[in-house]
Structure 1
Amino acid sequence: MATGPATRTSSVVYGLSVLDHRGRVTDLAVLRTLDWPPGTRLHLRPADGPLTIEAHTDGEFSVTEQGHLRICAAARHRHGLATGDRVLLAADPAAGHLLVFPPAVLDDLFADKFTAASGGDSR
């Protein structure tokens, strides 16, 4: 028996953005939900998987005057991000976090779903 669609239980806001040559992500609809005005200092937590970004007084970078996020070159290289990559943004306003999912992380997250959708083993 088929079940109905899942019901949302989260206030997380999602969006996609293309990473430009300066490391900017520009989905203002997502970024504005975090209430980070221009100049807000941000910290990138070191971790495997998605980049986790949060406001922090001693943050190593800040929201641009236009309200964009600029991911530093070292973080882009560490996470395998390149100019033109589409990244999934997931903002959790209640927690004050932004997760940035690089394409390779998305590949890992969805590999089983694509295998199941194609009817089984992808070999």
Structure 2
Amino acid sequence: MTSIVPALVPASPADAASGQAASRRPVRGPLPLPTFADRRTRQTVYALPAIDCNGRLADQAIVRVMGWKPGTRYAIQEHGGLLVVDANPRGVFTVTRQGHLYIPAVVRRRCAISPADRLLIAAEPEERRLVIHPPAALDVMIGDRHRAVLGGDAT
């Protein structure tokens, strides 16, 4: 729902000098503020790190919030263009000594991830998983949201 905010017209210099401006202006309450229907209901922690040419994500804060230490084994699965990463003792990959995650080349190619791309990482400690959103997945999600909110073609 769109709310129209009435235009604010400043008093003329003559009105301001005579003190008449305040008495002629209608009394209005505070300007309306937008309300957000989508209140936060989760404790997700977000990061937007760049991936390097070797497939490393150098965001140690995300690894820390998950409680993962260097050497923690993890698995990566692709679901609908998103990468789901969870600690798994039988996982093929391990958190590096520097606390970085590694995304293998075959996964990067499949998800069209290039060096220096920024990936949205959503850390969900309660679910014990990370969800990585490659740029192509972000384009789809943001385009869908823009069309839903703004209407029409969001491109």
Specify if TM > 0.5: yes
Corresponding residue number in structure 1 for 2:130: 98
Bigger share in strand:
1
Contact persistence 2:63–2:69 (CA under 8 A):
no
Mark the CA change 1:29 to 1:103 in structure 2 (over 3 Å): closer, same or farther: same
**TM-score (structure 2 length as normaliser):** 0.71
Q: Which has the higher contact order (CA 8 A, sep 6+)?
A: 1
Structure 2: gaps spanning 5 or more residues: 4-32
Partner SS for 1:77: helix
Q: Which moved more, 1:53-62 or 1:109-118?
A: 109-118
Once residues 116 and 11 of structure 1 are traced to their aligned partners in structure 2, the CA distance between those partners, rounded to angstroms, is 25
Bigger share in helix:
2
Ranges of 4+ aligned residues in structure 1 off by more than 6 Å: none
Deviation string 1:19-46 (CA, Å, 9 cap, x unpaired) is 1001011122222110110000110123
Structure 1: gaps spanning 5 or more residues: none
Which residue of 2, 5, 10 corresponds with 2:42? 10
**TM-score (structure 1 length as normaliser):** 0.89
Give the aligned residue type for 2:35: G
Structure 1 residue 66 displacement after superposition: 0.7
Q: Work out the percentage of aligned pairs sharing the same amino acid.
A: 39
Contact persistence 2:143–2:154 (CA under 8 A):
no
